[in-house]
Structure 1
């Protein structure tokens, strides 16, 4: 199943709109991502009184959002319905929600417009620097989330490839496993996060097939991944071991996972104790034998 698409990422859009509304002082925020060619679907709303804007398909160049996408820069109008600088294909939906002053900010990832965010008031006021800056920051937040999704899909494509006999190719799979586990902690979309962790389970299972795993590669117990008769490690302990397996130092592991170096050491000591070993290298070898790492 491919969960990421141009119209995916609803959790990330919601988070960006929540930030926009909270920091801009604008009571209404809405937006969505690109789908198809030259179209953007309004998929998320906050502060709305009606569902008039929900599902609205905005074409590139049309209306306020379409113009912002076309110009690849923020655009605002004080009175949406009276504005002579935008087209008016969507006046009915805007009027149904009672909006007047509206701004739109494009979401640009790698020089490509991937979506549009809006903020609005229900009375005519010239929007100043504060709401514009807040909207731009929310767009940047969403851009980073979409970059994470893109990287997740790249790593998933590696994870879906059959295990290769070539040692160099197998090392690439192992590196992808570590990257996927680290990335999963930073992804807001729960569906995508589940797919990332499921891919991690499949990669770990590839080195030790037939060991009674669940669909997401975890033991059939509450404790965590591994074979049924093997040690049970906490997810964060596996995350740390995956980084260690790639050659990362404790400091690099901490930065990669968003943890403190002392916390990394604690997880590593706990994992070593559960695996019955006394060194980082032995821990990685034991984890691979237990089907916890590829």
Structure 2
């Protein structure tokens, strides 16, 4: 179900509220990727969104001066992002307003940010475009290998997060069709057979409330502990999953937890009372252990393993 309104300031932009919005973990991963894109490329404006039915909706941004991009819906083959979607490759223009190679459906929204150079990178998973990341400057900038490589790496890391959430959704769907321990309305598994149904219902309600508290708290360490407790509840009555175990040192975890909130190395150093070079060393070691090539990929990998929330 969609609720659509036409804002008066940007009459050609549809602001859409959807009941099927991105999963909170995916939205958070997108925000992390957009912030990482800004750090790695030095673009003063970065934004992005996920694709659905041939349309990418912008839901995350940093460095913006207006709200013109929020909720912008970019259609397949339209504008620079639409061209990146249709060609399944990065596209860039150093003079957006006068480029003859793209359609100009979104000039009003892009122009409100005084964008001159625009760079669009599709997020591709198994050959399908699942989103688009953008970097922009308000002055003319020539394409550089450095920011192209960084943008592609971040888009790939985000694609892995999408793949992970796809797998989670698949397993949840299987659980719904084949009732399991905490969410079963059929015969309980052996491990939970002795628990009265009333207590199981209380466990389900407590699990739901715990998820809400974890989502609302702003303290990283508390959120991580709540998420770990939530995972313990979800495993009740289920066989232990086979997980690729990674052991991170306490300080490596501290650095990743702070990086997950969007802090830069210098800010993390201040928060942890460490030298910036020490923070970089911990981050590099954590990335190596997690098999990640970027900070964003390391944070995503740590979340998948339940090391941080």
Residue from 184, 208, 215 that aligns with 2:204: 215
Residue from 135, 147, 160 that aligns with 1:144: 160
What is the match of residue 42 of structure 1?
58
What is the match of residue 85 of structure 1?
101
Residue from 29, 35, 46 that aligns with 1:12: 29
Deviations 1:85-118 (A, max 9, x none): 1111111111110111110001112211111110
CA contact (8 A) 1:156 1:199 kept: no
2: CA distance between counterparts of 1:74 and 1:112? 14
Deviations 1:171-202 (A, max 9, x none): xx57xxxxxxxxxxxxxxxxxxxxxxx769x9
What is the match of residue 123 of structure 2?
107
2: CA distance between counterparts of 1:52 and 1:33? 17
CA contact (8 A) 1:4 1:153 kept: no
Sort the Cα spacing of 1:99 and 1:161 in 2 relative to 1 into closer, same or farther, 3 A. Answer: same
Sort the Cα spacing of 1:141 and 1:83 in 2 relative to 1 into closer, same or farther, 3 A. Answer: same
CA contact (8 A) 1:213 1:219 kept: no
- Once the two structures are superposed, the pairs formed by residues 268-279 of structure 1 within 5 Å of their partners are none
Sort the Cα spacing of 1:94 and 1:241 in 2 relative to 1 into closer, same or farther, 3 A. Answer: closer
What is the match of residue 272 of structure 2?
none
CA contact (8 A) 2:183 2:204 kept: no
2:13 is equivalent to residue 24 of structure 1: no
CA contact (8 A) 1:105 1:118 kept: yes
Deviation, 1:140, is 0.9
CA contact (8 A) 1:31 1:43 kept: yes
Sort the Cα spacing of 1:4 and 1:15 in 2 relative to 1 into closer, same or farther, 3 A. Answer: farther
2: CA distance between counterparts of 1:41 and 1:259? 37
Residue from 67, 74, 91 that aligns with 1:75: 91
Deviation, 1:67, is 0.2
Deviation, 1:28, is 0.7
Number of aligned residue pairs: give it.
208
What is the match of residue 159 of structure 1?
175
TM-score, normalised on structure 1?
0.61
TM-score, normalised on structure 2?
0.58
Structure 2, gaps ≥5 residues long? 1-17, 211-226, 249-309
Sort the Cα spacing of 1:90 and 1:238 in 2 relative to 1 into closer, same or farther, 3 A. Answer: closer
Sort the Cα spacing of 1:124 and 1:30 in 2 relative to 1 into closer, same or farther, 3 A. Answer: same
CA contact (8 A) 1:68 1:75 kept: yes
Deviation, 1:72, is 0.1
Sort the Cα spacing of 1:32 and 1:58 in 2 relative to 1 into closer, same or farther, 3 A. Answer: same
Structure 1, gaps ≥5 residues long? 164-172, 175-197, 222-233, 261-294
- Once the two structures are superposed, the pairs formed by residues 184-223 of structure 1 within 5 Å of their partners are 207=193, 208=195, 209-211=197-199, 213-216=202-205, 218=207
Greater radius of gyration (CA): 1
